[in-house]
Structure formats: C-alpha cells, structure tokens
Structure 1
Amino acid sequence: MKVFVIDVAKCNGCYGCQVSCKDEHCDNEWLPYAKIQPETGHFWMKINEKVMGSVPKVKMSYVATPCMHCENAPCMEATKNGSVYRREDGLVIIDPEKSKGQKQLVDACPYGAIYWNEKLQLPQKCTGCAHLVDEGKIPRCMDSCPTDAIKFGEEAELAELIGKAEVMKPELGLRPRVYYLNLPKNFVAGAVFDPIEDECLKDAKVTLTDVGKSKDYVATTDSFGDFWFKRLEAGTYALKVEKEGFCPFSMKSFEITESTNVGDIALNKMLD
C-alpha cells in the first residue's frame, strides 16, 4: 500500500510542493483520475504555516498537507453513487465523472482537503499523482522537494519511518496514510538576566514541571540567557529558575494551551 511520510522539521517553506502540484494539474486533465485544477482557490498539496510563541521567542513551521488517503475515508461514506473509491495501492480517488454535483464531499473531509470546482461542479483533491504512479514515477510534490521532506512509497519500505511518525487527528480513527515526523508542538521559552549588572545570565538552571504528570524538565540557559522547552503537551506547568549566588525565582502553575514566551526573568543577587 502506498503512503506518504512528511518530515516537518526538514521543510524550509519553499512552497515547491504546492507550486509543482499546481503546475502538474492546473493545465492538465489526467483522466480517469482528475480533471483540470482551477488556478485559484485549490491547493491539493497545501502548505499550512504555523507561527508559535511571541517575539522574540518565535518558531515557524510549515506543514505540507495533501489528501490523507484514509483507510476509513469519510468521503467514501458521503458519496451517493460510489464516486469515491480506493485503488488497490491505497490511493483514494474521486471519480471526476460520477462525482459531478456532489458538493457534500467537501464538508465530509475533516482535514479540509477536498475543494469545490464551481465551474465544473466537481469536488476535487490530491490524487497522489496516480497518473504518474501508474507509470512507475513519484508524485510531483516529492519530486520537487529540495530537502527530501516528502517521501512516498510502499508502506513496508517506509516502515521504519512510520514507526517514529504520527498522523493528524488520530482521535477520528480514520487511519490516514499520510504520516508525519516532527509535527509542531508547544514550547515554553524565556530569558534570565541580572537586573543590577544588566547582563544575561548563563548556566542558570531552569526546571519546568508538568504538574499533572509530576514530571520535571530541566534546561540550562545559554550565553544569551535563553532557555527553551520544546515539544510539550498542553497542560498545567510550573517554573523555577536557580543560579548559585542568586535568589531563586518561581512561577506558580500556569496553563499551556499554545507555545508560550514567559518573558525576561530577573534574578537578584543574594545579600552577603
């Protein structure tokens, strides 16, 4: 069975996959899999940008998002006449002839991967470049990726990567065949400084406690006084900063629902 494995950490936001998908489908009709993609409004391979944190502690991620080619595809259930089908290799296809007028398929996809072609009155989406796969080639998105962030192939061949990966919205139980490495997670970041000397404090010990799990994460500030805790789950956390010769700083429990910059933390020197 064919699968995609996408490593978000390798994506540099060049949009090559999105552009090449347009180049492949906007002026070409690849029957029996797809009719022409409109030049605007459709992104069968879409780069979703995510900005996390706040200045100056900011991270940017780019998540390439095609059709998930789900094993339990809700679009297959929503069709009126079997116009959505799964090929033997696992790629899910919307038949461009049978699906005419079936706009309900757009809302059936929880990933927002199906688009409505108003001119042709058709629901359309990523086909996995089935017309190229039939010729023993790879999808254009993978072929155009300069950082090797997108892989496509047999499930067995990519099993090692899949074992380290996750899927989007696993709680839906749709068993998507697009797997992700390094999906963006929350972080907590900040900086520590000496307010009297007005300088950054290096090698301060910062302890972040996941209150719900009673689990500690420990980091040390760098030359700029910065610290980062990455890939955190949402929850309640507490923070403590310590450095020899300085009074410790504690931040009582606070909720993390998204990446958070706790700001600049002043440590005051202990009195002699």
Structure 2
Amino acid sequence: MKVFVIDVARCNGCYSCQLVCKDEHVGNDWSPYAKPQPDTGHFWMKIKETEHGSVPKVKIEYRPTPCMHCDNAPCIKAAGDGAVYKRRDGLVIIDPEKAKGRKDLVASCPYGAIYWNGELNLPQKCTGCAHLIDAGEVPRCVDACGVEAIKFGEEEELRGLIAQAEVLQPEMGLKPKVYYLNLPKFFVAGDVYDPVLDEVLEGAQVTLINEETGRTWTETTDDFGDFWFRRLGPGSYTLKVEKNGYRPYMVQQLKVDRSLNVGSIGLERAQG
C-alpha cells in the first residue's frame, strides 16, 4: 500500500509542493484519473499555515495537506456506485466520468480535500499523481520538496517512520494513509525578570505540572530570561518559577487549549 510520510519539522513553508501540484494538473488531462484542475480555487496539495502563540513568542507551523487516501474513505461510501474507488496500491481516485454532477461528494470529506470544478461539473482532489506512479515515478510534490519533508512509498518500506508518526483526527477511524512526524502540539512560553533592576533573570527554574496527570516538566531560563515548554497536550496546568534570592511565583489552573505566551513574569526579591 502506498503512503505519504510528512515531517512538519522539516517543512520551511516554501510552497513548492503546492505550486508544482498546480503545474502538474492545471491544463493537463490525466484521464482516467483526473481531468484538468482549474486555474484558481483548487489546492490538491495545500500548505496549511498556522500561527501559534503571540508576539514575541510565536511559532509558525507549515503543514502540507493532500487527500488522506483513507482506508475507510467516507467519499467512497458516499459515492456508493464506483464514482470514487481505491486502487490496489491504496490511492483513492474520483472517477472523472462516473462522478460528474456529484457535488455532494465535496461535503463527504471531513478533511476538506475535495473541491468542486464548476466548469467541468466535477468533484476533484489529489490523485497521488497516479499517472506518474504508473510510469514508475513519484508524485510531483515529493520530487519538488528540497528539504525532503514529504516522503512517498510502500507502507512496509516506511514502517520505521510510520511507527514514530501520527495521523490527523484518528478518532474518526478512517485510517488515513498520510502520516505526520513532529506535529507541533501546543507550547507554553514566557520570560522572567527582576522588575527593580529591570533586567532579565537567567537560570531561574520553571516547572510546569499537568494538574490532571501530574506529569512534570522543568526548564531553566536562558540568557534572555526565556523559557519554552513544547509539544504539550490540552489541559489544566500549574506554572511555578523559582530562583535563589527571590520569592517563588506560581499560577494554577492555567488553561492550555492553544499555544500560550504567558508574558513577562516579574520576581520579587526575598526579604532578609
């Protein structure tokens, strides 16, 4: 079975995969797998750009997002008549003849990977460049990625990477064949300073505790007084800051349902 493995940590947002997908499919008829993609409106390979945190603690996530080529593809079930089918190698294809007029198939994909071509009266999506696969080549997005963030091949050959990866929305049980490495999750970040001296505090110990599980992370502020806790799950947390010569700081029930910049934390000097 063919699979994609996408390493989000490698992707630098160059958009080459998105651009070459357009180059491959706009104006080109690759029947029986796909009719020409329209000039605008379709992104069969789409870079989804997400901003995490707030200034100055900001990280940008770039996530290449094609059709997930699910084992339990809801578009196949919605079509019901062979208008969408799965090839022997696992690639999910919308038949450009049988699917004419089936605008309802656009809504069948929970990942938003199916687009409507009004001119051709046809739903369309990523084919995994099936026409290139049949010729012994790789999808254009894979070939164009200069940092090798997108890999494509047999599931067995990529099993080692798959074991470290995850899929989008696994709770739906669709068994997508696009696997992601290093999805960023959430972070909690901030900085620590002495408000009297108006100077950052290096070497302060910052502890983050998940109030539901008790799991604990510890970081030490750097030369700029900064601290970062990365790859966190949602939940309620306690944040503690300690440094010799200063009163401890603590905040409880810190709700993490997105990446947080908690801002600048001023420590008061201990008396005596």
Give the TM-score taking structure 2 as reference length. Answer: 0.99
Q: Which ranges of 4 or more aligned residues in structure 1 deviate by more than 3 Å? A: none
Matched, 1:152 2:125: no
Shift of 1:199: 0.7
Residue in 2 aligned with 1:234?
234
The one-character-per-residue Cα deviations of 1:109-164 (angstroms, maximum 9, x if unpaired) are: 00000000000010000000000000100000000001100000000110000000
Q: Aligned with 1:47: secondary structure?
A: strand
CA separation in 2, counterparts of 1:165 and 1:105? 29
CA separation in 1, counterparts of 2:94 and 2:223? 55
Residue in 1 aligned with 2:162?
162
CA separation in 2, counterparts of 1:138 and 1:71? 21
* Amino acid aligned to 1:15: Y
Residue in 1 aligned with 2:25?
25
Residue in 1 aligned with 2:256?
256
Unaligned runs of 5+ in 2: none
CA separation in 1, counterparts of 2:59 and 2:30? 39
Matched, 1:88 2:99: no
Residue in 2 aligned with 1:199?
199
CA separation in 1, counterparts of 2:262 and 2:71? 42
Matched, 1:78 2:78: yes
Residue in 2 aligned with 1:130?
130
Q: Aligned with 2:9: secondary structure?
A: helix
CA separation in 1, counterparts of 2:110 and 2:64? 16
1:31-46 → structure 2 map (5 Å cutoff): 31-46=31-46
CA separation in 2, counterparts of 1:269 and 1:254? 24
* % identical aligned pairs: 63
CA separation in 2, counterparts of 1:45 and 1:120? 20
Q: Aligned with 1:104: secondary structure?
A: helix
* Amino acid aligned to 1:178: V
CA separation in 1, counterparts of 2:88 and 2:141? 21
Give the TM-score taking structure 1 as reference length. Answer: 0.99
Q: Aligned with 2:206: secondary structure?
A: strand
Shift of 1:184: 2.3
Q: Aligned with 1:24: secondary structure?
A: helix
CA separation in 1, counterparts of 2:82 and 2:148? 35
* Amino acid aligned to 1:222: D
* Amino acid aligned to 1:258: R
CA separation in 2, counterparts of 1:36 and 1:22? 10
Shift of 1:78: 0.5
Q: Aligned with 1:76: secondary structure?
A: helix
The one-character-per-residue Cα deviations of 1:67-96 (angstroms, maximum 9, x if unpaired) are: 000000000001142111111100000000
CA separation in 1, counterparts of 2:220 and 2:142? 39
The one-character-per-residue Cα deviations of 1:159-189 (angstroms, maximum 9, x if unpaired) are: 0000000000000000000000011211000
CA separation in 1, counterparts of 2:235 and 2:121? 45
CA separation in 2, counterparts of 1:204 and 1:27? 59
Matched, 1:66 2:66: yes
Shift of 1:45: 0.1
The one-character-per-residue Cα deviations of 1:208-240 (angstroms, maximum 9, x if unpaired) are: 010000111111100000000000000000100
CA separation in 2, counterparts of 1:263 and 1:90? 47
Aligned residues: 272
Matched, 1:267 2:267: yes
CA separation in 2, counterparts of 1:188 and 1:55? 13
CA separation in 2, counterparts of 1:234 and 1:202? 28
The one-character-per-residue Cα deviations of 1:35-55 (angstroms, maximum 9, x if unpaired) are: 000110000000000000000
TM-align CA RMSD: 0.6
CA separation in 1, counterparts of 2:172 and 2:254? 29
Q: Aligned with 2:34: secondary structure?
A: coil
CA separation in 1, counterparts of 2:51 and 2:253? 24
* Amino acid aligned to 1:268: E
1:163-202 → structure 2 map (5 Å cutoff): 163-202=163-202
Matched, 1:223 2:212: no
Unaligned runs of 5+ in 1: none
Residue in 2 aligned with 1:245?
245
Q: Aligned with 2:127: secondary structure?
A: coil
